[in-house]
Amino acid sequence: MEQYDAFYIDGGWAKPATADTFRVVSPHTEEVIASVPAGAAADMDAAVGAARKAFDSTDWPTRAPEERMEVVRRFADLYAGRMAEMADVITAEMGSPTSFSQLAQSPAPWMMLTTFLDVAASYPWEEQRSGVLGSPVTVRRAPVGVVAAIVPWNVPQFVTMSKLAPALLAGCTVVLKPAPETPLDAYLLAELLHEAGVPAGVVNIVPAGREVGAHLVAHPGVDKVAFTGSTAAGRAIASVCGQQLKRCSLELGGKSAAVILDDADLAATMEGLKFASLMNSGQACVAQTRILASRANYDAVVDALAETVAGMTVGDPADPATEIGPLVSQRQRERVAKYIALGEEEGARVATGGSGRPAGLERGWYVQPTVFAGATNTMRIAREEIFGPVLTVIPYQDLDDAVRIANDSEYGLAGSVWTAERAAGMDVARRLRTGTVGVNQYTMDFVAPFGGFKASGIGREFGREGLDAYSELQSLVPLGG
């Protein structure tokens, strides 16, 4: 069992304020694999103090962007060399299938990092405008300040990098709070940042629970909160930030719809939905969990989806053949199992799966991948984010009805359209009230903004807009020519 005994604060390893610890438990074996210190309010105070000092008293925020880019580029090069190790760590700590980890849990963060470097190279850090009073005006993007980055357990490095990369490039300093379930990847991240020569205090890392996270959010030394997690937690954070007039960006929940048109290639669509709907064992905010099929094609879609899901390999996340692994924790397993039972109580029909455990997996936090048929969009399984391998197939009458159902949600994070006609798919996509829509796939592109409508969040990440989120606009208006 690995044991860590310090936090990464002010460029070195700092002794915790208390003896409290978090146990990291394997979702596959239910055995403890590591122990890390649990951050207390005093530890967060120290981390914010270090970040505050680095922002207020060093040259990091005033360096030329190219100088910060050079530091981040060194970090990216080091990250590239340890991506496989990072993926293995995340598979061990949260049960992500290694096939997904090797594709997304570490390569995607590295791709995001290099994309932000490309964006930063052409970003208008300062631009000149002709003033109406005759003098030139300089519009400057200044760093927002000290950033509290609070990340979830499902894709910890992916979410971390969406905040850390633009914050560093913009000249901010950061306090990163990893989730208690997945602190191990953050320790590897600290090693890489230190080796890259990121100055002391610019990045500080303290794993902590909710109460200490709330202390960080409300801390007067924090200028911006960047949060990814549940909508309920996002509302609480937004309230605090609103009271303090503190900047915040919130990437929250989703209940995304995959709209299958009658002309879609059903076999190709099912293959695409294996990733779009069940990536990371369904533990993804962008998962396409509402499957919309026309009444004319409904039975065919249900049968094809049930056959596809029933045929997916469930088991040891370290096995490359595994497509669906365990859920992150016993609590999450119980939550998902309760939703499956609820779906049956609501009158939906289980086309495959159910609330029991998968055959042969009596140990580990596994649930059966489940497809519900005979569902309506008013059922809780169609309205609430389950965060597990549970899909609900909902019938629609015509295209207008499909768009209405897709948009009838408090969320608006992601969506997809499946069709033989790309142009027709794009037309439907433009009608969906959601932040990112795929046509015949679901993915995101790191040059394009990512975020949600409605209760799915506030603000955008990735691309130029991702850098905008860590900048304050400043206008410089000199007298004379």
User: From residue 363, how far is each of 3, 27, 163, 424, 460 by CA, in Å?
Assistant: 24, 9, 36, 47, 40
The dihedral sign for the CA sequence 215, 68, 474, 162: negative
Choosing from 181, 248, 285, 385, the catalytic residue is: 285
Decide if 241 is catalytic: no
Choosing from 93, 241, 248, 251, the catalytic residue is: 251
Q: Report the 3 state secondary structure along the chain.
A: CEECCCEEECCEEECCCCCCEEEEECCCCCCEEEEEECCCHHHHHHHHHHHHHHHHHCCHHHCCHHHHHHHHHHHHHHHHHCHHHHHHHHHHHHCCCHHHHHHHHCHHHHHHHHHHHHHHHCCCCEEEEECCCCCEEEEEEEECCEEEEECCCCCHHHHHHHHHHHHHHHCCEEEEECCCCCCHHHHHHHHHHHHHCCCCCCEEECCCCHHHHHHHHHCCCCCEEEEECCHHHHHHHHHHHHHHCCEEEEECCCCEEEEECCCCCHHHHHHHHHHHCCHHHHCCCCCEEEEEEECCCHHHHHHHHHHHHHCCCECCCCCCCCCECCCCCHHHHHHHHHHHHHHHHCCCEEEECCCCCCCCCCCCCCCCCEEEECCCCCCHHHHCCCCCCEEEEEEECCHHHHHHHHHCCCEECEEEEECCCHHHHHHHHHHCCCCEEEECCCCCCCCCCECCEECCEECCECHHHHHHCCEEEEEECCCCC
Residues labelled as active-site residues: 251, 285
